[in-house]
Structures are given as structure tokens and as C-alpha cells.
Amino acid sequence: MPQSAEKFLPGRLSRAGFVALALTSAAGIMLGEFLLAACAAAAAGISLASNPRFTSHHARLWKHFKTASYSILAILLLVALWQGPWALSHWLYALPLVTFALMPTYIAALITALLTFAILVSTQWAVILPDRHQMISAFVLTTLLSTLLIFLREYKARQLAPLRRTDELTQAASREYLSADLHKEIQRSEREGTDMSVMMIGLDTHLSDNDPDEDIRAILPRVGRYLHSQLRDFDTYYRVADLQFLVILPGINTAGAAASAEKIRNGLCKLLASHGMKLTVSTGIAGLNIGDDADSLQHSAANALRRAQQQGGNRTQAYSNWLHPDVQSATGTQGDAR
């Protein structure tokens, strides 16, 4: 239920905000308050660009649109301090929270400081505006409260990070639990005498400079959902880096893991292509051998992935003690000798 709310509420709120602001803009045009109409239209653009339903496609375009809408809104609100209507100055109280919601914390803090300076200077020059002293004190107070709210949010996120079981963006299991979970699976495999493999999945971002990191991260929730749909119920996947995942595959040998990796790799490539991203995916496979522990198995899978990317990417590479013909036929590559 919480995960459903996290996916459902932002879309509903952004749509409701867009409708309300669009109606406000239309009313402003009808009443001849064109500056009010322009501010409401810019705010409606921000609300529209914040809807996850739309931003999952053409993420770069929506990001630029959101930035442009925010910039226009900030400029228009500053202009309103000089030309009126005076009621628009109250919109400035919400500007710090909007800034922190749209941008990284350090960038938002810098922009908020610059906006605060510009607003204070403007109100000092615009001496004919009524209640400017009350406006200054109210704006400074709301900015401080907004800053305190953001600080508490960041502090809470850092405190809860070690306790969070899943990654918020991809719904993959948290990396902090990887070593313990992998150790348990190794013990179970050795106790029951069954096979076990580990798969490392990585996006070949070093082969393409056309897609910025922001666009790639925008597609990560879909990548996480795709992995969830392709893996078995008792498989577990972890986000071990920004653009890398590790999957624990109990009961599967290296050849079977390589076949699964190829299927997942091809599916992810199609998913990225459907969103206009010219990116490929590589996978590294490591099977459990005698003497392996959680660290060595992770290291073997990471080396296999690195080997695949060094060979040009867009491939699956197996890492094993011996060269198995069945592994080579399944992956199309040769496993490295340890």
C-alpha cells in the first residue's frame, strides 16, 4: 500500500494542481490580469512536468520544460514586486519549497539565497508598495521554516537509509543487505548441494555520450519493474551502484544463469530503445565454486561485467574456473579463467 501511494499520489496531485492553475490563468486573462495569468500558466507548466506519467517518456524534454517554467515563474514574481499586482507577492512564500522540490539540495539552496537577496533588494527600492516591511519579515520567516523543513527531511532520510530494505527508485533490495543475504544463500547451496549463480547487470553508459545521467536515472524505475517481472519469486536483485544491479540466482548453474542473463539483457536493450535511449546493456555471470564466499562471488561477477564492457559491451560474459562449452554457446563469449 505505501508503494502504491507513492506512485499514485504524485500523479493525482500534479493533475489537480495543473487544472487549478490552468483555470486561474484563464480567469486572469478574462479579468485582464495578464501578469497573474502568466504566473499561473508557468506554475501549471511546473505541475504538468512533475507528473510521473508524462515524464517517463522524453525525460530530457520534460526536464528542460520544467526548468524553463520555473525560471519564468521566478522572474514574473520578481517583476510583480515592481509593477503589481501586489497580491502576487504572496506567491513568493511558496517559491523556496518549489525550488527544493525541483532541484538538488545544494543547487536549490544557492538559488533560494539569490532569490532572497533579489527580493529584499527589490522591496527596498519599491518604496511605494504597501506593507512591504510586513512582507519582508513574512517572507524571511517562511524561507527559514522551509529551510528547516528541508533539513529535517534530509536528516530523516539519512537516519532511515540503513533501515530501508528496498531502493526507493527501483524497488531493488538495498545494498546494505547484499552480503548477509548472499552469505545465507551460499550456506544453503552448500548444505543442500545445489547450484547457485550471481548475475551482475550494468548499463554501458561509457559507450554513449548522448544521454545525460538525468535521463538514464529517469528510466531506472522501469528497469527495476522489468527485472522484477522477469525474475523468479525467490530470486533477489540489488542495486549495487547507480546503474548496476546484482541478482542472486539460487538453484541455477552458470549455463542457466547465462541464458537468463541474455534474455534479460535483450529485454532491457529493447526497453531503453523504446524510450529513445541509444544504450546497451552488459551482464556478468559468476557461478558458486568451492571456497567462494559472499565477497569473492561478488568480485567475480563484477570482473565478468567489467570484462564484457571492456570488450565493447552489449554482451554477456561468464567468469568461472574452467571454460565450459555450454556456457560459451549460451553467451556467445568465452568465460575468463580465474
Compute the average pLDDT of residues 231-260.
89
Q: Is 104 exposed, middle or buried (0-12, 13-18, 19+ CB in 10 A)?
A: exposed
DSSP state of 197: E
| Chain position carrying cell 553508459 | 205
Partners of 197 in the beta sheet? 249, 287
For 85-134, how does the pLDDT look when each residue is reduced to its tens digit (9 = 90+)? 677 777 888 888 888 888 888 888 888 888 888 887 777 665 555 666 77
Is cis: bond before 325, omega within 30 of 0? no
Residues contacting residue 38 through CB under 8 Å, at least 6 positions apart: 25, 28, 72, 76
Beta strands 316-320 and 336-337, pairing class? parallel
User: Would the pLDDT of 174 be above 80?
Assistant: no
Question: What's the rounded Cα separation, in Å, for the pair 197 and 252?
Answer: 6
Question: What's the rounded Cα separation, in Å, for the pair 186 and 194?
Answer: 10
Cβ distance 191 to 250 under 8 Å?
A: no
For 182-191, how does the pLDDT look when each residue is reduced to its tens digit (9 = 90+)? 999 999 999 9
Dmax (CA) for the chain in angstroms is 85
For 273-292, how does the pLDDT look when each residue is reduced to its tens digit (9 = 90+)? 888 788 889 999 999 888 88
**Of the given ranges (31-35, 299-303, 319-323), which has the lowest mean pLDDT?**
319-323
List the strands of the sheet with 281-287, edge to edge: 236-241, 244-250, 196-203, 281-287, 316-320, 336-337
Cβ distance 281 to 268 under 8 Å?
A: yes
Of residues 208 and 31, the one with the higher pLDDT is 31
Give the SS3 label for residue 194. Answer: coil
Cβ distance 313 to 280 under 8 Å?
A: yes
C-alpha count within 13 angstroms, C-beta hemisphere, residue 144 = 6
